[in-house]
């Protein structure tokens, strides 16, 4: 990112909220947006250590950041997250719904709890944050929301019926929100990552990793930074005529 874009964004006092921003893709998104001049609200749900480390790194690079605790699957905590961001920075320009979990199992062995918890965090968490950020964004007649879906929500995956349902749901919800909010200059898009090297995929068995890797046309796992760059693009002015879209950043898995 050029220094002039960073200066313009800093001068415009752009503010981004990133859910689950302490590690993995969320962390990379926080750092990428900060490098482009955004002030960043780094959300976390349990221990603050990782989020605090991201905040320190952003501040060391000369941008502003705070860490805010909230379980996004809880309606009131998601509201408190949005309120805290506005109280501290005055407004929100960008919301990135990144928080997500997996509870994989074959459908016949999947418990109702594992189905519900994944849908609750991934889908309802995204809904909660979009719902609460919509009003302030509508008032300011400006905003961008980027939801992290998954290529699994597009093509499915054995052992991930719950996760695929939640991510396909995010895609439908992204398009619906784009239709609801476009008239007030609020854009809503999604990034659908493929197989990215984070703690979420490190727990997969070698067999599952090999099977996934064999589907990647570009022949390598994605890095969190690959996703962060696409998110920053969709969040920013360069994408000002793009809404309701899903960009697969997956090395070619889904074509």
Nearer to ligand NAD, 44 or 127 (CB): 44
Task: State which of positions 183-202 bind ligand NAD (CB under 6 A).
Answer: 193, 195-196, 198-201
- Rounded to a whole number of angstroms, the minimum distance from the CB of residue 162 to ligand NAD is 11
Nearer to ligand NAD, 150 or 174 (CB): 150
Task: State which of positions 34-93 bind ligand NAD (CB under 6 A).
Answer: 43-45, 71-73
- Sorted by sequence, the CB contacts under 8 Å of residue 184 that are 6+ apart come out as 137, 138, 141, 142
Single residue of 40, 121, 188, 190 touching ligand NAD by CB under 6 A: 121
Nearer to ligand NAD, 151 or 181 (CB): 151
Residue count at the site for ligand NAD (CB under 6 A)? 28
Single residue of 9, 18, 20, 124 touching ligand NAD by CB under 6 A: 20
Can residue 147 be called a binding residue for ligand NAD (CB under 6 A)? no
Whether 241 is a known active-site residue: answer no
Can residue 150 be called a binding residue for ligand NAD (CB under 6 A)? yes
Task: State which of positions 224-253 bind ligand NAD (CB under 6 A).
Answer: none
Nearer to ligand NAD, 79 or 184 (CB): 79
Which among 38, 44, 163, 241 is annotated as catalytic? Answer: 163
- Rounded to a whole number of angstroms, the minimum distance from the CB of residue 184 to ligand NAD is 26
Angle at 95 between CA 97 and CA 172, to 5 degrees: 50
Stretch binding ligand NAD (CB under 6 A), from 8-16, 96-104, 133-141, 176-184: 96-104
* The token pair that represents 2 in the structure block: 């050029």
User: How many other β-carbons are positioned within 10 Å of the β-carbon of residue 171?
Assistant: 18
* DSSP assignment string, the chain: --HHHHHHHHHTT-EEEETTTTSHHHHHHHHHHHHTT-EEEEEESS-SHHHHHHHHHHHHTT--EEEEE--TTSHHHHHHHHHHHHHHHS--SEEEE-------B-GGG--HHHHHHHIIIIIIHHHHHHHHHHHHHHHHT-EEEEEE--THHHH--TTBHHHHHHHHHHHHHHHHHHHHHGGGTEEEEEEEE-SB-SHHHHTS-HHHHHHHHTT-TTSS-B-HHHHHHHHHHHHSGGGTT--S-EEEESTTTT-
Can residue 124 be called a binding residue for ligand NAD (CB under 6 A)? no
Nearer to ligand NAD, 138 or 212 (CB): 212
- The residues annotated as belonging to the active site are 163
Interface residues with ligand NAD (CB under 6 A) are 19-20, 22-26, 43-45, 71-73, 98-101, 121, 125, 148, 150, 193, 195-196, 198-201
């Amino acid at each position: 990112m050029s220094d002039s874009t960073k200066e313009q964004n800093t001068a415009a006092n752009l503010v981004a909220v990133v859910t689950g921003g302490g590690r993995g893709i969320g962390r990379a998104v926080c750092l990428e947006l900060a490098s482009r001049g955004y002030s960043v609200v780094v959300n976390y749900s349990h221990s603050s250590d990782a989020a605090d480390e991201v905040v320190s790194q952003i501040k060391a690079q000369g941008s502003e950041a705070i860490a805010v605790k909230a379980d996004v699957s809880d309606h009131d905590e998601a509201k408190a997250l949005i309120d805290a961001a506005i109280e501290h920075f005055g407004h929100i320009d960008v919301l990135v719904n990144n928080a997500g979990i997996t509870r994989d199992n074959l459908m016949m062995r999947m418990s109702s709890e594992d189905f519900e918890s994944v849908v609750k965090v991934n889908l309802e968490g995204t809904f909660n944050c979009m719902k609460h950020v919509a009003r302030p964004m509508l008032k300011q007649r400006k905003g961008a929301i980027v939801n992290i879906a998954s290529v699994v929500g597009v093509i499915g995956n054995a052992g991930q019926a719950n996760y695929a349902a939640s991510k396909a749901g995010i895609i439908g919800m992204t398009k619906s929100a784009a239709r609801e909010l476009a008239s007030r200059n609020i854009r809503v898009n999604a990034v659908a990552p493929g197989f990215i090297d984070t703690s979420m995929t490190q727990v997969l068995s070698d067999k599952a990793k090999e099977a996934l890797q064999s589907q990647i046309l570009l022949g390598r796992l994605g890095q969190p930074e690959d996703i962060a760059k696409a998110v920053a693009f969709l969040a920013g002015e360069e994408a000002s005529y793009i809404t309701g879209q899903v960009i697969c950043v997956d090395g070619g898995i889904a074509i």
